[in-house]
Chain A
């Protein structure tokens, strides 16, 4: 079974721009959750989608948004990029809810904002 696929692996953007990251979950997994990983803050939950609906949301500004398609693939968007948005963005899929089920992570998208 193919794992979680995230594209692109690397992105370099300028402050003020917007960016879209993509995630394809494991076949059959309907929950997709997103995380931001930085050296200072560690792994932080962004949001979770299930059956095209946002099921839960972390403590991030409205510039961070996401969506899920009918095939469970998900995208996250960050608008008006700030230097502090530089991070590794990880997507995970699961069969159950993200907070109490094994998570299957992709290898992430490394975003650098200059």
Chain B
């Protein structure tokens, strides 16, 4: 079945720096890759998603890149702010079973 590996598990950056989180997946047929942000005490919230027909998508300070050949996709956050501190999850579709499989999460800390 689909396996999604997410790295790093923790990431600490200074305010204003960029942060990059990378995920690899195993199902070459996977075609939907969302990213979720989970703040303490809350449920995950979708921040950006990308489908396999595009290689990059941007939304203000957030961008996602997809490399289907290498089977990896990355989240890029520029000009980080303390409110970006949270746990970020990537996910990919397991096509055969039509299930979304999540990575184990990255705890991002942005230091003022």
Contact = CB atoms under 8 A, between A and B. Distances in A.
Contacts of A100: 31-32, 93, 98, 100
B73 interface: no
Nearest to B101: A45
Binding site secondary structure of chain A: loop
Interface in B36-86: 36, 41-46, 49
Nearest to B4: A42
A42 B104 contact: yes
Q: How large is the interface on A (under 10, 10 to 19, 20 to 34, 35 or more residues)?
A: 20 to 34
Contacts of B93: 99-100
Contacts of B32: 99-100
Interface stretch (A14-22, A24-32, A68-76, A104-112): A104-112
Interface residues of B, number: 23
Interface in A49-103: 56, 58, 90, 92, 97-100, 102-103
Contact of A106 (B41, B43, B49, B102): B43
Ranked nearest first, the 4 interchain pairs of A and B with the lowest CB-CB distance are: A105-B43, A43-B102, A100-B32, A42-B104
Of the listed residues A99, A104, A105, the one surrounded by the most CB atoms of chain B closer than 10 A to its CB is: A99
Interface of B: 31-32, 34, 36, 41-46, 49, 89, 93-94, 97-105
B105 to A, nearest CB: 6
Nearest to B105: A42
B99 A56 contact: yes
Given A43-B44, A107-B42, A97 B102 contact: no
A102 B46 contact: yes
Contacts of A58: 99
A105 B102 contact: no
Contacts of B49: 102
A7 B88 CA distance: 24
Nearest to A92: B43
Given A43-B102, A100-B93, A105 B44 contact: yes
Contacts of B44: 43, 90, 103, 105
B100 A99 contact: yes
A97 B34 contact: no
